[in-house]
Amino acid sequence: MQMSQEVFGQFRRKRLLIAITVAALVLILTLAFRFMEEKSRIEQQSHIFANNAIQRFDRLFSPLDVAANNTLGLVGLSCEQVRFPLIEKLASLQTVRTIVLVNNDTLYCSSLSGAGNLSFSHYYPELAVNNQRMMLSTDQQLLKGSPVLLFWTPQDTDNHSGILQVINIEMMSNYLLEPTLPWVERAIFNVGDKSLEYGNPMVEQALPSEDEVTWQESSLRYPFSITLFGPAPTRLALMTMPSQLPLALLLSLLMGYIVWLATASRMSLSWQISYGINAREFMVYCQPLINSRSGDCDGIELLLRWHTPRQGWIPPDVFIPLAERQDLIAPLTRFVLSEVARHLPLLPTCPTFHIAINVAASHFHQHQIIDDLRRLWWPENPVPQLIVELTERDALPEVDQRVVACLHTLGVKLAIDDFGTGHSSLSYLKTLSPDVLKIDKVFTAAIGTDAINATVTDMVISLAQRLNISLVAEGVETEEQATYLREKGVDVLQGYFYARPMPLGDFPDWLSSHKTLLFA
């Protein structure tokens, strides 16, 4: 039985909606990912610029630091003795304008102007009193008004003697702080609360404009920091989005097409099956198994029915094969086991009463069926005989045939369902040693009408009787078929002639009425 065109139409609309939704999400996520990636790259570039600038300044100050420490031995000597050595030292330090010796809080000797007598703590309290090692200032001797950096190296802890180097910081900052557009528009060298900006000869505090953001990195070796001003990374990243749109659009269309292919009607139905299991839309039905000789009900076969509020009743010949192909048949079988275990108190407590359940070949893999029986069936201490009906849509691998032997050891009987229509039926008789063969309803329907199929039915019956295997005939719908099968020695009959499939909870009432008819 095929699904109606309405159901297929619903699946196609769902597929289209899912494909469009996925394509839109992929487009949004791709652009968002590229946006975040570009934003992160811009921020990283700014930090790299600041770190590189700090490393360059550190490399600039390091030889000055070494030179100052090597010159500390001149402190205290007279200016006439040390001036020429200071000039020689100055010649080797290209970035230094002048070197000044400080002794007992007095600036007493300069490589530029010679001897002097100025108070160090008065002119440079940040260095002398606040114990700073660097200070931004303006030159008052050589190039008046130009920015300089005072680099202080004390001789002792009292901070009253040492070497003071005056560095041409404007030249260095113009060389080392050149901004890298577009992510760095302004670069500033900071010492304490004073700043020197690239391209600006004034020593003053630098502030960002309204649309600029700030990054700042500090040196770990010397008391200075680098501040960068530039456009917000968000704005720069957004400016790159038009160039990212073609690739994102192509990727979204590709993903939408893949989803459209993946959510074909069968895939859609498989999703419905998964949802139906969780929503308990499936129901367990049963069909009586009638003893052909006595007319008693010897057992039931468990059947699965599916009613969904979305599509109504969906026939088993649609969802069962699909569930097998989508590896969903095992969860359905577990659902049937749990339901029949729950209804055991309503069923006859007789060891000759049979409960048959269909199990796909895939459920035998890695002893899954045995594990499920141990978890769902045997804890209920069932009295009726369990029969596992092996469906033949797929071949049972040799490794899983050992599971059948384990089932026999545990007292579970094996039936081969739809015998003669499936895979390697004759080989199964040898390798699986089944207890029951079920004659497919196709052969039952051929009784009295189709000479070829009727002959096949007789051969199957004869083969089973020679091998001492019980027979169950499915699809018995007429008195003629029932009589024919009874005369041929078929043990159990099943079909609409006796009873239609019914909800498992209705079986006790049917069984009572059936016994009443037998004894009437």
Q: How many CB atoms lie within 10 A of CB 339?
A: 18
Same domain for 175 and 27, yes or no, is yes
Same domain for 173 and 31, yes or no, is yes
Q: What is the mean pLDDT of residues 11-17?
A: 76
Q: Does 414 reside within a domain?
A: yes
Q: What is the mean pLDDT of residues 207-219?
A: 79
Q: Does 278 reside within a domain?
A: no
Q: What Cα–Cα distance (Å) separates residue 216 from each residue in 149, 155, 228, 344?
A: 20, 32, 6, 76
Q: What would the two tokens of residue 503 be?
A: 């909800």
Same domain for 76 and 209, yes or no, is yes
Same domain for 372 and 462, yes or no, is yes
Same domain for 288 and 259, yes or no, is no
pLDDT of residue 510 exceeding 90, the answer is yes
pLDDT at position 420, please? 67
Mean pLDDT of the chain: 84
Q: Name the DSSP letter for residue 158.
A: T
pLDDT at position 396, please? 65
Q: Which of 208, 233, 263 is the last residue of a domain?
A: 263
Same domain for 303 and 257, yes or no, is no
d(CA 132, CA 127): 5
Q: What is the mean pLDDT of residues 67-96?
A: 87
pLDDT at position 264, please? 65
Q: What is the DSSP string of 294-318?
A: T--EEEEEEEEEEEETTTEEE-HHH
Q: What is the DSSP string of 184-251?
A: -SEEEEEETTEEEETT--SB------TTEEEEEEE-SSSS-EEEEEEE-HHHHHHHTHHHHHHHHHHH
Confidence of residue 267 (pLDDT cuts 50, 70, 90): low
pLDDT of residue 488 exceeding 70, the answer is yes
Q: How many CB atoms lie within 10 A of CB 239?
A: 12
Nearest Cα to Cα of residue 95 among 191, 169, 39, 24: 169
pLDDT of residue 424 exceeding 80, the answer is no
Let me know: does 476 contact 497? Beta carbons within 8 Å: yes
Same domain for 234 and 103, yes or no, is yes
CATH for 447: 3.20.20.450
Range of the domain at 247: 1-263
Q: Strands across the sheet with 114-119, in order? A: 114-119, 106-110, 96-103, 162-167, 147-154, 134-138
Nearest Cα to Cα of residue 149 among 95, 112, 200: 95
pLDDT at position 374, please? 92
- pLDDT tens by residue, 82-133: 888 888 888 888 788 899 999 998 999 998 888 889 998 888 888 887 788 9
Same domain for 327 and 237, yes or no, is no
Nearest Cα to Cα of residue 66 among 58, 75, 77: 58
Q: What is the mean pLDDT of residues 134-158?
A: 83
Look at 179-188, 345-354, 392-401 and tell me which has the smallest mean pLDDT: 392-401
Q: How many CB atoms lie within 10 A of CB 206?
A: 19
Q: Which amino acid is at 151?
A: F
* DSSP-based three-state secondary structure for 437: strand
pLDDT at position 395, please? 61
